A and B are shown apart, each in its own frame.
Chain A
């Protein structure tokens, strides 16, 4: 099984999480449940469109 194609997206997600963690803990910028919901809906929409 070739994991190479997953490497870049995983690094991007990890970088995003780390960035947002740093922002949250230092600058105090956080998501609200509403933003998370919108983000989830966007992902579902994108998944539906690609299928």
Chain B
């Protein structure tokens, strides 16, 4: 018996030491977005003359699901075997050179022993917010529909700084607009005529402070704001507007000046992919000072934030109002559906009654703060998080149509 056991031990040892050593590489990933399964390709290389049998346990970064269930991989002798594995991103974010790798159990030729090695294979990946959501498609389609429905930009001569044409000067025209070269050529006074610029600036400003850390139906409020900002960026790009973004909490985290077209959207998207809420008090004065210094051109400045009551939001109201008259401020505040439900309930017990009273008081304080903001000249959209994206795109289209921007 003892001899048999010792033999078995030796066989296990020998078998494990004879197990194949393999190499693994990962092909560069295409972009990933939340809710849309992607695929990653590994290339397993077996340089030995025997088939390699592996039991593979993959460890991915948290944003890609963390530790994966084990799987078997077989690699023929002296060959490179590609393996395609689905990747379902769990949440948006950026992972560079950190977590990731394999625990490989290479099984020996007798199947008695296995040799375990850890292979680090760090990920370099960005997971974007849901890009092709149904709502996004709907809002872009809506934007296109409205644009194609015969709504043409109204030429407003005399406003703006976009050169339109030359014409003869008449009394009352601004002397600064006289084109002296044209006047010399034509021997009469010629003035430049301008029209309002059609390409406008849209600047997305995301408050990532403590008010955006709260969750609604298991999703952080900031994620709803990110989705709304993304859809607005797409809609603005569809209308040839320049799009930029700023995020801030206790300091400015990201600033991307408004840019045109796909490039602008891509840079906004890069910021939206990695922005995370922080449990800190937002520094509104610092953020708006920074904004005023960096963005002097008139812009629709869309602030995604939340308010509690008038006094708690005094700094926000005072600072967002300073954007006027140079910019057009639009504040998007996210309602709390649970608070709305608590205020709307018909109380049957004293506990319900107290809950209802507290909810109503909070809602009243919030309405007061929003009213204060509106009186300061800020356009306010106060919606439930689920409706934020749709509401902000609709408002943008409305402002464009009316030429308010």
A residues lining the B interface (CB < 8 Å): 24, 28-32, 34-35, 38-39, 42-43, 45-46, 49
Contacts and interface: CB of A to CB of B under 8 A. Distances in A.
Contacts of A42: 1, 4-5, 8
B107 interface: yes
B394 interface: no
B269 interface: no
A29 B16 contact: yes
Contacts of B105: 30
B107 to A, nearest CB: 6
Nearest to B118: A28
Interface stretch (B109-117, B222-230, B308-316, B331-339): B109-117
Contacts of A38: 8, 112
Q: Which of A24, A34, A43, A45 gathers most chain B CB within 10 Å?
A: A34
14 contacts: A24-B116, A28-B117, A29-B12, A29-B16, A29-B17, A30-B16, A30-B116, A32-B111, A32-B113, A35-B8, A35-B12, A38-B8, A39-B5, A45-B1
B194 interface: no
Interface of B: 1, 4-5, 8, 11-13, 15-17, 105, 107-108, 111-117
B115 A29 contact: yes
B303 to A, nearest CB: 54
Given A28-B116, A32-B112, 19 more contacts: A28-B16, A28-B115, A29-B12, A29-B13, A29-B116, A30-B113, A30-B114, A31-B12, A31-B112, A32-B111, A32-B113, A34-B111, A35-B12, A35-B113, A38-B8, A39-B8, A42-B8, A43-B1, A46-B1
Q: Which of A28, A34, A42, A49 gathers most chain B CB within 10 Å?
A: A28
A6 to B, nearest CB: 17
A26 to B, nearest CB: 11
Nearest to B105: A30
B391 to A, nearest CB: 57
Contacts of B13: 29
Contacts of B114: 29-32
B117 A29 contact: no
Contacts of A31: 12, 112-114
A38 B113 CA distance: 12
Given A29-B17, A42-B8, A34 B1 contact: no
B107 A32 contact: yes
A39 B145 CA distance: 73
Nearest to B4: A42
A11 to B, nearest CB: 15
A-B residue pairs, 8 tightest by C-beta: A46-B1, A28-B116, A35-B112, A29-B16, A34-B111, A30-B114, A35-B12, A42-B4
A13 to B, nearest CB: 11
Nearest to A50: B1
A18 B113 CA distance: 17
